[in-house]
Amino acid sequence: MNKPPRFPLGLDKLGTASSVSRPRGEVLRPQRPLAQAAQDQARREVPRGLGMDSEAVRRRMVDKLRAAGLRCEPVLAALSAVERHRFVDSALATQAYEDTSLPIGLSQTISKPSVVGHMLALLFEGAHAREHGHLGQVLEIGTGCGYQAALLSMLSRGLVSVERLQGLHDKARDNLAGLRQGSNLRLVFDDGRLGHAPRAPYHSIIAAAGGEDLPLAWLDQLALGGRLVAPMQAAGGGQRLVIVDRTAQGLVTQEQDAVHFVPLKSGTA
């Protein structure tokens, strides 16, 4: 059986508010009761015999994405390496490698592999990624269950992932906890519309929720040569992917495909 891939993580250590100094937005969470932690672990465990650990299962998914037009080799390699079934409830594990979105709780979903792959490939077409071959310092808005964060961890040199829903922030921490500790990935519980100024600027920014506008904080935190990819409400209704590049002459914006993401909201819950 193949071992799950390892990604360097730098999750905030737990402590008390009186003993820990931290930047705004990096919120400490209380320890959950052991019974609740055991229940969460049981939901994450995948029944044996399903073949979900097989590299061939992931390779078939990647082959279908390649046949559908995804050509970015670093993204395809990451999709092949990360075990998507470990980021969904065990009852949905057999659907993990289908090109479909799946519920992850709190009325949120894990996006289709084709959508995730397309958005990551668009980031790789930005000026910084073309020059350096990686996404540089990345800001992810909407951690969700942590699947895309695992992919971004392989493709970047540093990642801050912000989640506004405490339950999903906790779930992502649990889903990523078994991976190797390090300093590459920081999970933050905060209002995603604010971005994360302490680690700015970012060469790549990606969002998993769409609003009526692109928050000014995201644009301010985008580095020169950097690229932002996010859904946004279109003038005629629905959502479209919006791409913003910061050039020496200013911000350059273009619209792409129609998409459907959850609404971008302010605050935390």
- Please give the positions annotated as active site: 111
d(CA 262, CA 107): 9
Site of tokens 């769409």: 210
d(CA 150, CA 187): 11
**Which amino acid, 78?**
A
